[in-house]
């Protein structure tokens, strides 16, 4: 049966070619590092969480009781902001908040203690100070109210730039957005629910859930968090550090303890809006070019209008990585990346993640088999 013989020989030849090809591929792959991309979130965390707290004050006379002038009458709330700051710094120094500051009329030298505290939160702890206007009025708002508050913050925290505006009552008036853009504000956080993903319009960043004593938020928060750790998203939780939302300061602190206990699961990036914004802008502009078997050039397609922050790159590697150099200097080997973007590398089996400032050359030192 010559035909069967032919088929058998052909099959044998094909099988041999295939075996050789597989073998070549395998030997070619050995020891080679492959760039996989820049993950959606820093440190390749699977989701991000932003805690937003409104109604921090700059006027020290409102530090215990805050008065709002609403429809011709005064409404007074207890202010727990100092308890909250103290509690978070003591117990969760790595966790950050975006806080909306009502700057008031006298946010200059009179309140230097409060402003130095805010400067410390921003510079040493990575918290974000957002503008929450000067007078906390509904729209339409004056330029003095909106732009004045930005000047108050930037004037009192040296070298700080306001990225985020939180309009009181969750709404902005006509023309307000144009003024904000001109003042360099990138992010406007509204009270509209429900946002689960990185915003495609940063001037329309919404909340996911309100953390307060009236809603069954604990269950919802838990559900959303587990959901997002599976699909990857952004959870924005907001509240007020006042008796508008809480019966007491300790009730507020307990709620934070609870929320942090399941959000801080090793898979979640607790971040602030400006950081998420910068990371996302950089991520879209990053170019990684392979120079040789173990070197990669990392650049941005265009320059940023802010000081770049470290960005995470993911690689597939099938050997132990002994060291990673960036422009010739060794990067620290990290067990934990933390929340504030920092430089370093970590290997977990075939996955290597590296966090660096764009604009340099990465070189990997691999072990011998």
- Torsion sign (Cα): 138, 126, 50, 183: positive
Max intra-chain CA distance, the chain = 104
Instruction: Kindly tell me which of 189 and 235 has the beta carbon lying closer to Zn ion.
Output: 189
Nearest position to Zn ion, beta carbon: 54
- Torsion sign (Cα): 183, 54, 98, 103: positive
Phi and psi torsions of 73, nearest 5°: -125, 155
Instruction: Kindly tell me which of 189 and 263 has the beta carbon lying closer to Zn ion.
Output: 189
Least Cβ distance, residue 146 to Zn ion (angstroms): 14
CA angle 41/233/264 to nearest 5° reads 70
Q: For residues 22 and 124, what is the distance between their CA atoms, to the nearest angstrom?
A: 53
Least Cβ distance, residue 271 to Zn ion (angstroms): 22
Least Cβ distance, residue 81 to Zn ion (angstroms): 12
Instruction: Kindly tell me which of 55 and 128 has the beta carbon lying closer to Zn ion.
Output: 55
Residues near Zn ion (CB under 5 A): 54-55, 168
Least Cβ distance, residue 168 to Zn ion (angstroms): 4
Strands 295-300 and 311-316: unpaired
Of the candidates 2, 24, 6, 25, the one whose C-alpha atom is nearest the C-alpha of residue 14 is 6
Q: Do residues 346 and 337 make contact, with C-beta atoms less than 8 angstroms apart?
A: yes
Instruction: Kindly tell me which of 245 and 275 has the beta carbon lying closer to Zn ion.
Output: 245
Q: Within 10 Å of residue 7's Cβ, how many Cβ atoms?
A: 11
CA angle 59/64/66 to nearest 5° reads 60
Instruction: Kindly tell me which of 206 and 283 has the beta carbon lying closer to Zn ion.
Output: 206
Least Cβ distance, residue 54 to Zn ion (angstroms): 4
Q: Which helix (H) or strand (E) holds 250?
A: helix 249-263
Least Cβ distance, residue 262 to Zn ion (angstroms): 27
Instruction: Kindly tell me which of 54 and 275 has the beta carbon lying closer to Zn ion.
Output: 54
Least Cβ distance, residue 154 to Zn ion (angstroms): 20
Instruction: Kindly tell me which of 55 and 145 has the beta carbon lying closer to Zn ion.
Output: 55
């Amino acid at each position: 049966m010559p035909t069967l013989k032919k088929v058998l020989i052909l099959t044998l030849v094909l099988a041999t070619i295939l075996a050789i090809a597989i073998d070549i591929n395998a030997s070619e792959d050995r020891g080679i590092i492959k760039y996989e991309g820049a993950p959606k979130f820093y440190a390749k965390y699977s989701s991000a969480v932003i805690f937003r707290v409104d109604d921090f004050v700059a006027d020290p006379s409102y530090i215990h009781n805050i008065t709002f002038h609403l429809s011709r009458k005064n409404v007074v709330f207890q202010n727990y902001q100092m308890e909250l700051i103290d509690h978070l710094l003591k117990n969760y120094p790595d966790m950050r908040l975006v806080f909306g500051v009502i700057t008031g009329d006298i946010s200059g030298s009179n309140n230097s203690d409060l402003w130095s505290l805010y400067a410390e939160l921003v510079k040493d702890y990575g918290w974000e100070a957002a503008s929450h206007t000067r007078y906390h009025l509904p729209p339409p708002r004056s330029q003095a109210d909106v732009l004045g508050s930005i000047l108050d913050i930037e004037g009192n925290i040296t070298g700080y730039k306001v990225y985020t505006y939180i309009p009181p009552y969750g709404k902005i008036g006509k023309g307000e957005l144009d003024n904000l853009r001109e003042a360099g504000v990138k992010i406007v956080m509204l009270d509209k629910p429900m946002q689960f993903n990185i915003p495609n319009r940063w001037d329309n960043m919404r909340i996911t859930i309100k953390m307060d004593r009236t809603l069954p938020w604990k269950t919802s928060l838990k559900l959303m968090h587990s959901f997002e750790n599976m699909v990857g998203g952004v959870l924005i939780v907001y509240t007020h550090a006042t008796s508008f939302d809480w019966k007491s300061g300790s009730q507020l602190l307990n709620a934070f303890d609870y929320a942090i206990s399941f959000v801080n699961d090793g898979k979640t990036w607790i971040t602030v809006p400006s950081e998420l914004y910068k990371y996302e802008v950089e991520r879209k502009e990053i170019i990684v070019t392979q120079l040789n078997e173990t070197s990669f050039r990392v650049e941005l397609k265009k320059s940023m209008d802010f000081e770049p922050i470290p960005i995470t790159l993911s690689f597939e590697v099938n050997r132990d990585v002994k060291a990673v150099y960036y422009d010739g200097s060794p990067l620290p080997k990290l067990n934990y990346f933390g929340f504030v973007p920092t430089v370093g590398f970590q290997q977990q089996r075939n996955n290597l993640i590296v966090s660096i400032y764009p604009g340099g050359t990465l070189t990997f030192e691999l072990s011998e088999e």
